[in-house]
Structure 1
Protein backbone atom coordinates (compact mmCIF):
# COMPACT_ATOMS: atom_id res chain seq x y z
CA UNK A 1 0.00 0.00 0.00
CA UNK A 2 2.86 2.35 0.95
CA UNK A 3 4.85 1.80 -2.23
CA UNK A 4 1.75 2.21 -4.42
CA UNK A 5 0.91 5.49 -2.72
CA UNK A 6 4.39 6.91 -3.21
CA UNK A 7 4.37 5.59 -6.76
CA UNK A 8 1.35 7.70 -7.60
CA UNK A 9 2.48 10.86 -5.78
CA UNK A 10 6.13 12.03 -5.65
CA UNK A 11 7.37 12.37 -2.07
CA UNK A 12 7.45 16.15 -2.29
CA UNK A 13 3.78 16.11 -3.27
CA UNK A 14 2.56 13.71 -0.57
CA UNK A 15 1.51 16.42 1.87
CA UNK A 16 -0.43 18.28 -0.82
CA UNK A 17 -2.12 15.08 -1.94
CA UNK A 18 -3.14 14.22 1.60
CA UNK A 19 -4.53 17.69 2.15
CA UNK A 20 -6.58 17.46 -1.04
CA UNK A 21 -7.89 14.06 -0.03
CA UNK A 22 -8.89 15.28 3.43
CA UNK A 23 -10.62 18.30 1.95
CA UNK A 24 -12.86 16.31 -0.39
CA UNK A 25 -15.60 15.32 2.10
CA UNK A 26 -16.05 18.88 3.27
CA UNK A 27 -16.21 20.11 -0.31
CA UNK A 28 -18.79 17.50 -1.24
CA UNK A 29 -20.87 18.39 1.78
CA UNK A 30 -20.83 22.09 0.95
CA UNK A 31 -22.01 21.30 -2.59
CA UNK A 32 -24.95 19.24 -1.34
CA UNK A 33 -27.67 21.72 -0.28
CA UNK A 34 -30.64 20.67 1.79
CA UNK A 35 -33.30 19.61 -0.67
CA UNK A 36 -36.75 18.19 -0.08
CA UNK A 37 -39.17 16.93 -2.70
CA UNK A 38 -42.87 17.15 -1.82
CA UNK A 39 -45.29 14.88 -3.66
CA UNK A 40 -48.65 16.47 -3.00
CA UNK A 41 -48.77 20.25 -2.61
CA UNK A 42 -52.08 20.40 -0.74
CA UNK A 43 -52.71 21.40 2.84
CA UNK A 44 -50.05 19.35 4.60
CA UNK A 45 -47.49 19.45 1.78
CA UNK A 46 -47.92 23.18 1.27
CA UNK A 47 -47.71 23.89 5.00
CA UNK A 48 -44.53 21.89 5.56
CA UNK A 49 -42.95 23.17 2.37
CA UNK A 50 -43.34 26.74 3.59
CA UNK A 51 -41.78 25.83 6.93
CA UNK A 52 -38.77 24.16 5.31
CA UNK A 53 -38.30 27.08 2.94
CA UNK A 54 -38.25 29.36 5.97
CA UNK A 55 -35.54 27.13 7.44
CA UNK A 56 -33.40 27.51 4.32
CA UNK A 57 -34.28 24.40 2.36
CA UNK A 58 -34.79 24.15 -1.38
CA UNK A 59 -38.26 22.69 -1.92
CA UNK A 60 -39.66 21.01 -5.01
CA UNK A 61 -43.47 20.81 -5.00
CA UNK A 62 -45.00 18.14 -7.22
CA UNK A 63 -48.39 17.71 -8.80
CA UNK A 64 -49.80 15.84 -11.78
CA UNK A 65 -50.64 19.32 -13.04
CA UNK A 66 -47.57 21.37 -12.05
CA UNK A 67 -48.71 24.38 -14.06
CA UNK A 68 -51.40 24.86 -11.41
CA UNK A 69 -48.68 25.44 -8.82
CA UNK A 70 -47.26 28.53 -10.55
CA UNK A 71 -49.00 31.04 -8.22
CA UNK A 72 -47.57 29.18 -5.21
CA UNK A 73 -44.05 29.14 -6.62
CA UNK A 74 -44.23 32.82 -7.58
CA UNK A 75 -45.24 33.62 -4.01
CA UNK A 76 -42.57 31.49 -2.33
CA UNK A 77 -39.54 32.68 -4.25
CA UNK A 78 -36.39 31.27 -5.87
CA UNK A 79 -35.83 28.33 -3.53
CA UNK A 80 -39.22 26.87 -4.47
CA UNK A 81 -39.97 25.12 -7.73
CA UNK A 82 -42.63 22.85 -9.17
CA UNK A 83 -42.87 19.86 -11.46
CA UNK A 84 -43.97 16.27 -11.67
CA UNK A 85 -43.76 13.66 -8.88
CA UNK A 86 -40.87 11.97 -10.70
CA UNK A 87 -38.95 15.25 -10.80
CA UNK A 88 -39.60 15.94 -7.11
CA UNK A 89 -38.39 12.47 -6.13
CA UNK A 90 -35.21 12.90 -8.18
CA UNK A 91 -34.61 16.37 -6.72
CA UNK A 92 -34.94 15.66 -3.03
CA UNK A 93 -32.40 14.27 -0.61
CA UNK A 94 -35.62 13.19 1.09
CA UNK A 95 -39.20 13.10 -0.14
CA UNK A 96 -42.41 13.96 1.69
CA UNK A 97 -45.44 12.04 0.44
CA UNK A 98 -48.67 13.86 1.20
CA UNK A 99 -51.20 12.54 -1.31
CA UNK A 100 -54.49 10.68 -0.76
CA UNK A 101 -53.60 7.21 0.47
CA UNK A 102 -55.40 5.48 -2.40
CA UNK A 103 -52.75 6.99 -4.72
CA UNK A 104 -49.89 5.05 -3.07
CA UNK A 105 -50.06 1.90 -5.25
CA UNK A 106 -49.84 3.87 -8.49
CA UNK A 107 -47.22 6.26 -7.10
CA UNK A 108 -45.09 3.32 -6.03
CA UNK A 109 -45.41 1.53 -9.37
CA UNK A 110 -44.61 4.59 -11.48
CA UNK A 111 -41.58 5.60 -9.39
CA UNK A 112 -40.26 2.27 -8.11
CA UNK A 113 -36.67 2.75 -9.26
CA UNK A 114 -36.42 6.36 -8.07
CA UNK A 115 -37.88 5.57 -4.64
CA UNK A 116 -35.47 2.72 -3.97
CA UNK A 117 -33.24 3.66 -1.00
CA UNK A 118 -34.78 7.15 -0.90
CA UNK A 119 -35.71 8.55 2.52
CA UNK A 120 -39.50 8.92 2.38
CA UNK A 121 -41.39 10.94 4.97
CA UNK A 122 -44.80 9.30 4.85
CA UNK A 123 -47.53 11.70 5.96
CA UNK A 124 -50.53 9.98 4.38
CA UNK A 125 -53.58 8.68 6.22
CA UNK A 126 -56.12 6.12 5.09
CA UNK A 127 -59.72 7.36 5.13
CA UNK A 128 -62.48 4.83 4.49
CA UNK A 129 -64.84 7.10 2.52
CA UNK A 130 -62.05 8.28 0.22
CA UNK A 131 -59.60 5.38 0.00
CA UNK A 132 -61.86 2.34 -0.19
CA UNK A 133 -60.20 -1.10 -0.17
CA UNK A 134 -56.76 0.17 0.83
CA UNK A 135 -58.32 1.45 4.06
CA UNK A 136 -59.31 -2.13 4.87
CA UNK A 137 -55.72 -3.21 4.28
CA UNK A 138 -54.51 -0.58 6.73
CA UNK A 139 -57.04 -1.68 9.34
CA UNK A 140 -55.89 -5.28 8.95
CA UNK A 141 -52.11 -4.91 8.63
CA UNK A 142 -51.22 -1.49 10.04
CA UNK A 143 -50.39 1.61 8.07
CA UNK A 144 -46.62 1.18 8.33
CA UNK A 145 -46.74 -2.26 6.74
CA UNK A 146 -49.09 -1.10 3.98
CA UNK A 147 -46.90 1.90 3.11
CA UNK A 148 -43.88 -0.43 2.92
CA UNK A 149 -45.84 -2.76 0.65
CA UNK A 150 -46.74 -0.06 -1.87
CA UNK A 151 -43.44 1.86 -1.66
CA UNK A 152 -41.02 -1.10 -1.70
CA UNK A 153 -37.36 -0.29 -1.26
CA UNK A 154 -37.99 3.19 0.15
CA UNK A 155 -36.57 4.03 3.57
CA UNK A 156 -39.90 5.01 5.09
CA UNK A 157 -40.47 7.11 8.19
CA UNK A 158 -44.02 7.82 9.26
CA UNK A 159 -44.21 11.47 10.33
CA UNK A 160 -46.48 14.53 10.14
CA UNK A 161 -49.57 12.34 9.88
CA UNK A 162 -50.74 12.57 13.49
CA UNK A 163 -52.49 15.94 13.35
CA UNK A 164 -54.42 18.24 11.05
CA UNK A 165 -52.31 20.67 9.04
CA UNK A 166 -53.93 23.58 10.90
CA UNK A 167 -52.37 22.33 14.13
CA UNK A 168 -48.92 22.24 12.50
CA UNK A 169 -49.46 25.70 11.04
CA UNK A 170 -50.52 27.14 14.40
CA UNK A 171 -47.74 25.59 16.49
CA UNK A 172 -44.66 25.59 14.26
CA UNK A 173 -41.72 27.23 15.99
CA UNK A 174 -43.69 28.17 19.08
CA UNK A 175 -41.76 29.02 22.27
CA UNK A 176 -40.67 26.13 24.47
CA UNK A 177 -42.04 23.64 25.01
CA UNK A 178 -42.36 23.05 21.30
CA UNK A 179 -45.07 20.83 19.89
CA UNK A 180 -43.92 17.21 19.57
CA UNK A 181 -44.27 15.19 16.36
CA UNK A 182 -44.19 11.37 16.61
CA UNK A 183 -42.12 9.47 14.05
CA UNK A 184 -41.55 5.77 13.39
CA UNK A 185 -39.27 3.88 11.02
CA UNK A 186 -36.98 0.89 10.59
CA UNK A 187 -33.91 2.60 9.11
CA UNK A 188 -31.77 4.43 11.72
CA UNK A 189 -30.28 6.89 9.22
CA UNK A 190 -33.69 7.66 7.74
CA UNK A 191 -35.00 8.26 11.25
CA UNK A 192 -32.15 10.71 11.82
CA UNK A 193 -33.05 12.55 8.62
CA UNK A 194 -36.67 12.70 9.75
CA UNK A 195 -35.63 14.03 13.15
CA UNK A 196 -33.76 16.84 11.43
CA UNK A 197 -36.68 17.67 9.16
CA UNK A 198 -39.12 17.73 12.06
CA UNK A 199 -36.83 19.94 14.11
CA UNK A 200 -36.11 22.33 11.24
CA UNK A 201 -39.85 22.69 10.63
CA UNK A 202 -40.19 23.97 14.20
CA UNK A 203 -41.19 20.90 16.22
CA UNK A 204 -39.67 18.36 18.60
CA UNK A 205 -39.35 14.85 17.11
CA UNK A 206 -40.34 11.88 19.26
CA UNK A 207 -39.14 8.49 17.99
CA UNK A 208 -41.91 6.05 18.87
CA UNK A 209 -40.20 2.94 17.50
CA UNK A 210 -39.94 0.90 14.33
CA UNK A 211 -42.34 1.31 11.43
CA UNK A 212 -44.84 -1.09 12.96
CA UNK A 213 -45.16 1.32 15.89
CA UNK A 214 -46.77 3.90 13.61
CA UNK A 215 -50.12 2.36 14.50
CA UNK A 216 -49.80 4.08 17.88
CA UNK A 217 -50.35 7.49 16.27
CA UNK A 218 -52.33 6.54 13.16
CA UNK A 219 -55.58 8.32 12.38
CA UNK A 220 -58.28 6.99 14.69
CA UNK A 221 -55.81 5.79 17.33
CA UNK A 222 -55.53 7.25 20.86
CA UNK A 223 -52.24 8.86 19.82
CA UNK A 224 -53.73 10.92 16.99
CA UNK A 225 -54.61 14.61 17.01
CA UNK A 226 -52.68 15.92 20.01
CA UNK A 227 -50.88 19.21 20.60
CA UNK A 228 -48.44 18.06 23.27
CA UNK A 229 -44.87 18.66 24.38
CA UNK A 230 -42.34 15.86 23.94
CA UNK A 231 -42.59 14.59 27.54
CA UNK A 232 -46.38 14.68 27.36
CA UNK A 233 -46.45 12.84 24.02
CA UNK A 234 -44.00 10.19 25.26
CA UNK A 235 -46.23 9.55 28.25
CA UNK A 236 -49.30 9.38 26.00
CA UNK A 237 -47.70 6.86 23.62
CA UNK A 238 -45.85 4.83 26.24
CA UNK A 239 -42.40 5.85 24.99
CA UNK A 240 -39.57 5.75 27.51
CA UNK A 241 -38.50 9.23 28.65
Structure 2
Protein backbone atom coordinates (compact mmCIF):
# COMPACT_ATOMS: atom_id res chain seq x y z
CA UNK A 1 0.00 0.00 0.00
CA UNK A 2 2.81 2.35 0.91
CA UNK A 3 4.66 1.72 -2.35
CA UNK A 4 1.44 2.36 -4.31
CA UNK A 5 0.91 5.64 -2.45
CA UNK A 6 4.50 6.65 -2.96
CA UNK A 7 4.32 5.88 -6.71
CA UNK A 8 1.18 7.96 -7.09
CA UNK A 9 2.59 10.78 -5.06
CA UNK A 10 5.71 10.87 -7.24
CA UNK A 11 3.57 10.88 -10.37
CA UNK A 12 1.50 13.74 -8.99
CA UNK A 13 4.59 15.80 -8.15
CA UNK A 14 6.04 15.14 -11.59
CA UNK A 15 2.84 16.44 -13.16
CA UNK A 16 2.90 19.56 -11.03
CA UNK A 17 6.54 20.21 -11.95
CA UNK A 18 5.64 19.85 -15.62
CA UNK A 19 3.07 22.62 -15.14
CA UNK A 20 5.81 24.86 -13.81
CA UNK A 21 4.52 25.08 -10.23
CA UNK A 22 7.57 23.48 -8.70
CA UNK A 23 11.15 24.40 -9.66
CA UNK A 24 13.21 21.74 -11.37
CA UNK A 25 16.98 21.41 -11.23
CA UNK A 26 17.10 23.42 -14.51
CA UNK A 27 14.77 26.22 -13.43
CA UNK A 28 15.86 29.86 -13.27
CA UNK A 29 17.09 31.17 -9.91
CA UNK A 30 14.36 32.30 -7.54
CA UNK A 31 15.17 36.03 -7.88
CA UNK A 32 13.60 36.43 -11.31
CA UNK A 33 12.87 40.12 -10.73
CA UNK A 34 16.55 40.85 -10.22
CA UNK A 35 17.50 38.82 -13.30
CA UNK A 36 14.90 40.60 -15.42
CA UNK A 37 16.17 43.97 -14.24
CA UNK A 38 19.74 42.95 -15.00
CA UNK A 39 18.72 41.79 -18.47
CA UNK A 40 16.92 45.08 -19.10
CA UNK A 41 19.94 47.03 -17.93
CA UNK A 42 22.18 44.98 -20.22
CA UNK A 43 19.85 45.57 -23.18
CA UNK A 44 19.72 49.31 -22.48
CA UNK A 45 23.50 49.49 -22.19
CA UNK A 46 23.87 47.66 -25.48
CA UNK A 47 21.55 50.13 -27.19
CA UNK A 48 23.19 53.21 -25.70
CA UNK A 49 26.34 54.88 -27.04
CA UNK A 50 29.65 53.50 -25.83
CA UNK A 51 29.94 56.46 -23.46
CA UNK A 52 27.14 54.90 -21.39
CA UNK A 53 24.57 57.60 -22.05
CA UNK A 54 23.66 59.82 -24.98
CA UNK A 55 25.24 63.26 -24.89
CA UNK A 56 23.84 66.54 -26.18
CA UNK A 57 26.41 67.92 -28.62
CA UNK A 58 26.49 71.26 -30.39
CA UNK A 59 28.41 71.53 -33.65
CA UNK A 60 29.77 75.02 -34.28
CA UNK A 61 30.62 74.86 -37.96
CA UNK A 62 28.81 71.92 -39.57
CA UNK A 63 30.90 71.94 -42.71
CA UNK A 64 33.05 69.15 -44.08
CA UNK A 65 34.62 67.95 -40.82
CA UNK A 66 32.04 69.18 -38.30
CA UNK A 67 29.15 67.84 -40.35
CA UNK A 68 30.79 64.46 -40.89
CA UNK A 69 31.69 63.91 -37.24
CA UNK A 70 28.31 65.20 -36.08
CA UNK A 71 26.41 62.82 -38.35
CA UNK A 72 28.49 59.91 -37.06
CA UNK A 73 27.68 60.89 -33.48
CA UNK A 74 23.98 60.88 -34.29
CA UNK A 75 24.35 57.35 -35.66
CA UNK A 76 26.19 56.43 -32.46
CA UNK A 77 23.14 57.51 -30.43
CA UNK A 78 23.94 61.08 -29.39
CA UNK A 79 21.69 64.13 -29.79
CA UNK A 80 23.34 66.69 -32.04
CA UNK A 81 22.48 70.24 -33.07
CA UNK A 82 24.27 71.37 -36.23
CA UNK A 83 24.98 75.03 -36.93
CA UNK A 84 26.57 76.81 -39.86
CA UNK A 85 26.21 79.94 -41.95
CA UNK A 86 24.15 78.07 -44.55
CA UNK A 87 21.45 76.30 -42.54
CA UNK A 88 19.54 75.16 -45.63
CA UNK A 89 22.52 73.05 -46.70
CA UNK A 90 22.83 71.62 -43.20
CA UNK A 91 19.16 70.63 -43.25
CA UNK A 92 19.73 68.77 -46.49
CA UNK A 93 22.86 67.10 -45.10
CA UNK A 94 21.07 65.67 -42.04
CA UNK A 95 17.95 64.41 -43.81
CA UNK A 96 17.14 60.88 -42.76
CA UNK A 97 19.03 61.02 -39.44
CA UNK A 98 15.85 61.25 -37.37
CA UNK A 99 14.85 63.20 -34.27
CA UNK A 100 18.30 63.12 -32.67
CA UNK A 101 19.60 65.51 -35.35
CA UNK A 102 18.50 69.13 -35.46
CA UNK A 103 19.62 72.45 -36.87
CA UNK A 104 20.13 75.82 -35.18
CA UNK A 105 22.17 78.98 -35.11
CA UNK A 106 25.65 78.88 -33.54
CA UNK A 107 24.20 80.47 -30.40
CA UNK A 108 21.42 77.88 -30.23
CA UNK A 109 23.85 75.01 -30.80
CA UNK A 110 26.21 76.37 -28.13
CA UNK A 111 23.33 76.60 -25.65
CA UNK A 112 22.03 73.14 -26.58
CA UNK A 113 25.22 71.14 -26.23
CA UNK A 114 26.78 69.86 -23.04
CA UNK A 115 29.76 69.18 -25.30
CA UNK A 116 30.67 71.41 -28.25
CA UNK A 117 32.74 70.77 -31.36
CA UNK A 118 34.30 73.84 -32.97
CA UNK A 119 35.17 73.21 -36.63
CA UNK A 120 35.30 76.70 -38.12
CA UNK A 121 37.90 78.80 -39.94
CA UNK A 122 40.38 79.99 -37.34
CA UNK A 123 39.71 83.60 -38.26
CA UNK A 124 36.19 83.18 -36.82
CA UNK A 125 37.36 81.95 -33.41
CA UNK A 126 37.95 85.33 -31.81
CA UNK A 127 34.49 86.69 -32.57
CA UNK A 128 32.75 83.41 -31.76
CA UNK A 129 34.47 83.35 -28.39
CA UNK A 130 32.98 86.76 -27.65
CA UNK A 131 29.54 86.16 -29.16
CA UNK A 132 29.03 82.78 -27.48
CA UNK A 133 30.72 83.50 -24.16
CA UNK A 134 27.62 82.96 -21.96
CA UNK A 135 26.64 79.75 -23.76
CA UNK A 136 30.06 78.06 -23.80
CA UNK A 137 31.21 78.98 -20.29
CA UNK A 138 32.19 75.87 -18.30
CA UNK A 139 31.48 73.46 -21.16
CA UNK A 140 33.69 70.84 -22.76
CA UNK A 141 34.85 72.16 -26.12
CA UNK A 142 36.50 69.93 -28.71
CA UNK A 143 38.69 72.17 -30.84
CA UNK A 144 39.15 70.89 -34.39
CA UNK A 145 40.21 74.23 -35.87
CA UNK A 146 43.50 74.94 -37.57
CA UNK A 147 45.86 77.76 -38.32
CA UNK A 148 49.56 77.97 -38.98
CA UNK A 149 51.76 77.94 -35.89
CA UNK A 150 53.62 80.89 -37.39
CA UNK A 151 50.45 83.01 -37.26
CA UNK A 152 51.67 86.26 -35.62
CA UNK A 153 49.01 86.24 -32.91
CA UNK A 154 49.62 82.57 -32.12
CA UNK A 155 53.32 83.30 -31.87
CA UNK A 156 52.92 86.38 -29.71
CA UNK A 157 50.21 85.17 -27.32
CA UNK A 158 50.64 81.39 -27.26
CA UNK A 159 54.27 80.69 -28.14
CA UNK A 160 53.28 79.09 -31.44
CA UNK A 161 50.86 76.62 -29.83
CA UNK A 162 47.49 76.71 -31.61
CA UNK A 163 45.73 74.78 -28.83
CA UNK A 164 46.86 77.28 -26.22
CA UNK A 165 45.71 80.11 -28.50
CA UNK A 166 42.30 78.45 -28.77
CA UNK A 167 42.03 78.30 -24.99
CA UNK A 168 42.71 82.06 -24.92
CA UNK A 169 40.07 82.75 -27.58
CA UNK A 170 37.51 80.49 -25.86
CA UNK A 171 38.11 81.37 -22.20
CA UNK A 172 36.36 79.62 -19.31
CA UNK A 173 35.85 76.45 -21.37
CA UNK A 174 37.24 72.96 -20.79
CA UNK A 175 39.06 72.78 -24.08
CA UNK A 176 40.38 69.61 -25.68
CA UNK A 177 42.24 69.59 -28.97
CA UNK A 178 40.60 66.79 -31.01
CA UNK A 179 39.91 65.88 -34.66
CA UNK A 180 42.19 68.76 -35.66
CA UNK A 181 44.81 66.78 -37.56
CA UNK A 182 42.72 64.12 -39.31
CA UNK A 183 40.72 64.24 -42.51
CA UNK A 184 36.92 63.94 -42.42
CA UNK A 185 36.88 61.26 -45.10
CA UNK A 186 39.33 59.17 -43.08
CA UNK A 187 37.15 59.48 -39.94
CA UNK A 188 34.11 58.39 -41.94
CA UNK A 189 36.01 55.43 -43.42
CA UNK A 190 37.13 54.34 -39.95
CA UNK A 191 33.54 54.49 -38.70
CA UNK A 192 32.32 52.41 -41.62
CA UNK A 193 34.96 49.76 -40.87
CA UNK A 194 33.17 49.23 -37.56
CA UNK A 195 36.25 49.14 -35.35
CA UNK A 196 38.52 47.19 -37.68
CA UNK A 197 41.88 48.92 -38.13
CA UNK A 198 40.69 52.13 -36.44
CA UNK A 199 42.15 55.51 -37.34
CA UNK A 200 44.36 57.06 -34.66
CA UNK A 201 43.16 60.50 -33.52
CA UNK A 202 45.61 62.54 -31.41
CA UNK A 203 44.06 64.59 -28.59
CA UNK A 204 45.30 66.91 -25.85
CA UNK A 205 43.69 68.66 -22.89
CA UNK A 206 44.36 69.99 -19.41
CA UNK A 207 41.03 68.92 -17.85
CA UNK A 208 41.04 65.20 -17.02
CA UNK A 209 37.28 64.73 -17.21
CA UNK A 210 37.02 66.67 -20.46
CA UNK A 211 39.86 64.60 -21.89
CA UNK A 212 38.07 61.39 -20.89
CA UNK A 213 34.87 62.59 -22.57
CA UNK A 214 36.80 63.45 -25.72
CA UNK A 215 38.43 60.02 -25.72
CA UNK A 216 35.02 58.35 -25.57
CA UNK A 217 33.60 60.53 -28.33
CA UNK A 218 36.57 59.60 -30.52
CA UNK A 219 35.83 55.93 -29.82
CA UNK A 220 32.19 56.51 -30.76
CA UNK A 221 33.41 57.35 -34.27
CA UNK A 222 35.21 53.96 -34.33
CA UNK A 223 38.55 55.73 -34.18
CA UNK A 224 41.12 55.33 -31.40
CA UNK A 225 42.23 58.31 -29.27
CA UNK A 226 45.94 58.88 -28.66
CA UNK A 227 46.46 61.36 -25.85
CA UNK A 228 49.65 63.40 -25.63
CA UNK A 229 48.64 64.92 -22.29
CA UNK A 230 48.07 68.63 -21.74
CA UNK A 231 47.48 71.42 -24.25
CA UNK A 232 51.15 72.36 -24.12
CA UNK A 233 51.88 69.08 -25.93
CA UNK A 234 49.34 69.66 -28.71
CA UNK A 235 52.12 71.15 -30.87
CA UNK A 236 53.10 67.55 -31.53
CA UNK A 237 50.17 67.17 -33.93
CA UNK A 238 49.38 70.68 -35.14
CA UNK A 239 49.89 71.78 -38.74
CA UNK A 240 53.51 71.32 -39.84
CA UNK A 241 54.18 68.36 -37.54
CA UNK A 242 54.85 64.78 -38.65
CA UNK A 243 51.51 63.72 -37.16
CA UNK A 244 49.39 66.25 -39.04
CA UNK A 245 47.25 64.52 -41.70
CA UNK A 246 49.18 61.33 -41.05
CA UNK A 247 46.32 58.83 -41.19
CA UNK A 248 47.60 55.72 -39.52
CA UNK A 249 46.98 53.25 -36.70
CA UNK A 250 47.51 53.65 -32.97
CA UNK A 251 50.92 52.00 -32.75
CA UNK A 252 52.41 54.08 -35.53
CA UNK A 253 50.85 57.30 -34.23
CA UNK A 254 52.25 56.65 -30.76
CA UNK A 255 55.67 56.19 -32.31
CA UNK A 256 55.36 59.45 -34.23
CA UNK A 257 54.16 61.35 -31.17
CA UNK A 258 56.58 59.70 -28.77
CA UNK A 259 53.85 58.63 -26.31
| TM-score bin (small chain) | 0.7 to 0.9
Q: Structure 2 length as normaliser, TM-score? A: 0.73
Does the aligned pair in 2 maintain the 1:137–1:146 contact within 8 Å? no
How far off its partner does 1:54 sit? 1.2
How far off its partner does 1:177 sit? 3.2
Aligned to 2:8: none
Does the aligned pair in 1 maintain the 2:154–2:161 contact within 8 Å? no
Specify which of 116, 123, 127 is matched with residue 137 of structure 2.
Answer: 116
What is the aligned length?
206
CA displacement, residues 105-152 of structure 1 (integer Å, 9 cap, x when unaligned): 000000112211100000001159xx9755655884311110011000
Please give the alpha-carbon distance, in whole angstroms, between the structure 2 residues aligned to 1:138 and 1:43.
29
* SS of alignment partner, residue 146 of structure 1: helix
CA 1:189–1:231: 2 relative to 1, 3 Å: same
Question: 2:151 matched to 1:107?
Answer: no
Please give the alpha-carbon distance, in whole angstroms, between the structure 1 residues aligned to 2:136 and 2:186.
29
Aligned to 1:90: 111
How far off its partner does 1:94 sit? 0.3
User: Higher helix share goes to which structure?
Assistant: 1
Does the aligned pair in 2 maintain the 1:122–1:156 contact within 8 Å? yes
CA displacement, residues 149-186 of structure 1 (integer Å, 9 cap, x when unaligned): 10001100001011222222222253433111110000
How far off its partner does 1:67 sit? 3.8
Q: 1:145-164 alignment to 2 at 5 Å?
A: 145-164=164-183
Q: 1:13-52 alignment to 2 at 5 Å?
A: 33-52=54-73
Please give the alpha-carbon distance, in whole angstroms, between the structure 2 residues aligned to 1:207 and 1:127.
21
Specify which of 203, 223, 235 is matched with residue 243 of structure 2.
Answer: 223
* SS of alignment partner, residue 117 of structure 1: coil
Listed as ranges, the gaps of 5+ residues in structure 1 are 1-31
Aligned to 1:4: none
Please give the alpha-carbon distance, in whole angstroms, between the structure 1 residues aligned to 2:71 and 2:257.
29
CA 1:177–1:87: 2 relative to 1, 3 Å: same
Does the aligned pair in 1 maintain the 2:75–2:97 contact within 8 Å? no
Q: Compare CA radii of gyration and give the structure with the larger one.
A: 2
Please give the alpha-carbon distance, in whole angstroms, between the structure 1 residues aligned to 2:156 and 2:187.
28
Specify which of 225, 232, 241 is matched with residue 205 of structure 1.
Answer: 225
* SS of alignment partner, residue 162 of structure 1: coil
CA displacement, residues 168-214 of structure 1 (integer Å, 9 cap, x when unaligned): 22222534331111100000000011011000011111111101111
Bigger shift: 187-196 or 84-93? Answer: 84-93
Q: Structure 1 length as normaliser, TM-score? A: 0.79
* SS of alignment partner, residue 94 of structure 2: helix
Please give the alpha-carbon distance, in whole angstroms, between the structure 1 residues aligned to 2:181 and 2:86.
27
CA 1:145–1:139: 2 relative to 1, 3 Å: closer
